[in-house]
Structures are given as structure tokens and as C-alpha cells.
Amino acid sequence: MSHLPIGVFDSGVGGLSVLNALREALPHERFVYFADTAHAPYGERGDAYVAGRTRAVARHLLERHQIKALVVACNTATAAAIHELRAEHPALPVVGVEPALKPAVAISRTGHIAVIATRGTVESRKFESLRASLAAQAVFSIVPCDGLAGAIERDDAAQIGSLSQRYLEAAGVFGSAPGQIDTLVLGCTHYPFIADELRRHAGAAVRFIDTGAPVAQQARRLLSQAEVLAEAGDGGVALLCSGAPDALDAAAARWLRLPAERAAAVA
């Protein structure tokens, strides 16, 4: 099974940040990336809807592409459906993502941490359980960023700038002095792509934490454990989307330097 591809799934183009980390950590693997753009954004929809879409995409990737593992590169889908996926497909290695609160606690010096994410993520039971488990170790400023993932999908620079400023101002005062926020958790896979814009508002001294590298390490561990890790080959990426492929093509070319016009639309 080592020659079979790994499925990577997000509601849109944000999961390309996770795919990028996976390709760096697993250079011999083949990947099938599915962007559910016809049903995005997930972060502003209910759990039942997101879980239904997540299960449908997983079935498509298993039946049509015979994936050997699945990476749910979406915080909202992980929170809403990761337990259902693992129950429905017990033999399939499944890796999810979640806002990196634990790594943030480990590196913060002031003990004040901001978390920006979609509303679906921060209002989920999974996220609240994680935050509550760390409440004694840090003060968290949680900001649901309505519309930001959508602006990144559209590559709308003006709205990205406006929303980034609004949400980071809502988080509080950033800096290294006592009581100031010195660590920012990027709790949506879209946000690493606008790190430079976020940096303008948070300041150069603030540390950013995202989930790409830890997810890639976990995927490698599970593949090795299942003895399906590809040890040779040039790898490769196939792009799929449920909506028009233009945005995915443009994002993959811009952020992953993949050839343009390669995404296939899936009904």
C-alpha cells in the first residue's frame, strides 16, 4: 500500500498550508488534495452540515482514489467530525488539526496568548475542552474571525488588511511586557498565508504558532507505524475541488509553486 496516495482535505484553499508542510516532511509521497469550495466556508456553518460534508469527501477519496491515509487539514472539520471519521473508517490512519494551544503555552513568556480562528472552531466542544484544560497555565484571548478565511480564498487584499487589523485589535495589546500578548496562535489553516499582514499588526516580537509541521510529523509517525510509508519516488500532487477550480489553481500556483490550471472539478 505504500504506493497509494494520501488524501488531504479542507473546505477551501487554506489546507494548502498543511499540504506544503506534508510535502516537505514526506517528499516521496503522492497526495490528493480536495478543496470543498462549493460548500465553503465551513467555519460559519453548523456542526451537522460540516460533519456530513467531511464524511462525504472522505468516502469520495477512499472510493475514487484509494487513499491510504487522510489528513483533515481544517480546524472546523476536525472539531466537528474527526471522531465520526475514525469510527466509520477504523483501518484508515486519520490525522486532524487543532489550534496549537499547547505549543503556545510552552513558549509564551508572558503567559498571555491570542488565538484567532473561525467561529466554528472556537465555539466547538473540542476547542473549549482544550482551552479549559490549559486555563491554569495561561490567559487566552479568543477571537472568532468571521469573513477572514473567505477573504483569503478570494485573495481580497483590502478586506484581508481591514479584518486582520480589526481582529488583532480585538485580541488585546501585543508585546513582551508583563500582561501583554507575546504569542499568536493561527487557528485556521488559511491564516499562515497572510502571516506578513498579521505581523504588521501584532509586531515583530510576537511569536506565531500554526499546525502544519506537527501535523506532518504525526502523519509520518502513523504511516511508519502502519508500514505504508513511501521510501522512494518523486511524489506528486493531484488537486480536486467541488466548485470552480480557478481559485484553487491560483492559490496552488502562488503558495506551492505548482503549475497553473491543474485542478479537476468534482461533482
> CATH code at 57?
3.40.50.1860
Q: In the listed set 163, 190, 209, which residue is the last one of a domain according to the structure?
A: 209
pLDDT band at 259; cut points 50, 70, 90: confident
> What is this structure's pTM?
0.88
The answer to whether residue 81 is domain-embedded is yes
For residue 261, is pLDDT > 80? Answer: no
pLDDT per residue as tens digits for the range 64-92: 999 999 999 999 999 999 999 999 999 99
| Domain interval for residue 110 | 101-209
The answer to whether residue 127 is domain-embedded is yes
Strand bridging mode 94-95 / 264-265: unpaired
Q: Are residues 42 and 29 in the same domain?
A: yes
Q: Are residues 111 and 164 in the same domain?
A: yes
pLDDT per residue as tens digits for the range 151-186: 998 889 999 999 999 999 999 999 999 999 999 999
Name the active-site residue from 22, 58, 74, 104: 74
Q: Are residues 77 and 172 in the same domain?
A: no
Q: Is 74 a catalytic residue?
A: yes
Q: Are residues 88 and 109 in the same domain?
A: no
- CA 97 to each of CA 15, 71, 94, 101, 157: distance values in angstroms, whole numbers, following the listed order: 10, 8, 10, 12, 26
Q: Are residues 27 and 47 in the same domain?
A: yes
Q: Are residues 109 and 204 in the same domain?
A: yes
Name the active-site residue from 188, 216, 241, 263: 188
- CA 47 to each of CA 42, 79, 149: distance values in angstroms, whole numbers, following the listed order: 9, 8, 18
Q: Are residues 218 and 205 in the same domain?
A: no
CB distance 182 to 69 below 8 Å:
no
Share of the chain above pLDDT 90, in %: 81
Q: In the listed set 209, 233, 250, which residue is the last one of a domain according to the structure?
A: 209
Overall number of domains in the chain: 2
Q: Is 145 a catalytic residue?
A: no
Q: Are residues 92 and 153 in the same domain?
A: no
